Amino acid sequence: MPADTVTTATRSRMMAAVKGKNTKPELAIRSALHRRGFRFRLHRKDLPGKPDLVFAGRCAVIFVHGCFWHGHDCHLFRWPGSREDFWRDKIGKNIERDQLQHQALSETGWRIGTVWECALKGKTRLPLESVADQCATWLKSDIKILEVSGDQTRATV
């Protein structure tokens, strides 16, 4: 197992600074959709997973997921070299929790959109306006599922 390149205190401080909401990708999507005239609520605690954006009138939610924390299969995700069991367990539980939350939302009639971090960052990033256009088109439609990542967009009826 490779040794960490920083001290335990430094690593702890770095990990404590990681935010769960109001991240840069989330703020970018929120701003772009707001400019397009969409109004939404943020992080509704009464919905499974506390979706990042909730469009109640359209019965739609959007999650803006970080590729590392949600185990996305893209160039931004790679398994850490240290504490492998801890990270596999943690990220595995995040993926499982995401699936359960999506199922619960879907069963209660919500449409679910997911924008992955790699759609807005890294070598496969798309222009923000393109990602926002895809979200806006989806919000105006009856399509149940939208997934936007840097290398593909998937919509499921």
Q: What are the CA-CA distances from residue 19 to residues 2, 14, 15, 23, 121 (Å)?
A: 26, 11, 9, 6, 17
For the domain spanning 19-156, the CATH number is 3.40.960.10
Amino acid letter, 113:
G
Could you tell me which of 49, 42, 50, 58 has the C-alpha nearest to residue 136?
58
**Cβ-Cβ contacts under 8 Å for 33 (sequence gap 6 or more):** 40, 53, 132, 135, 136, 139
- pLDDT of the residue at 16: 66
For residues 17 and 12, give the distance between their C-alpha atoms in angstroms, rounded to a whole number. 9
Domain boundaries, the chain: 19-156
**For the chain, which residues score pLDDT lower than 70?**
1-4, 11-12, 14-19
Tell me how many degrees the CA angle 103-109-113 measures, rounded to the nearest 5.
Answer: 65
- pLDDT of the residue at 2: 55
- pLDDT of the residue at 151: 81
Q: Helix count (H) and strand count (E) of the chain?
A: 4, 6
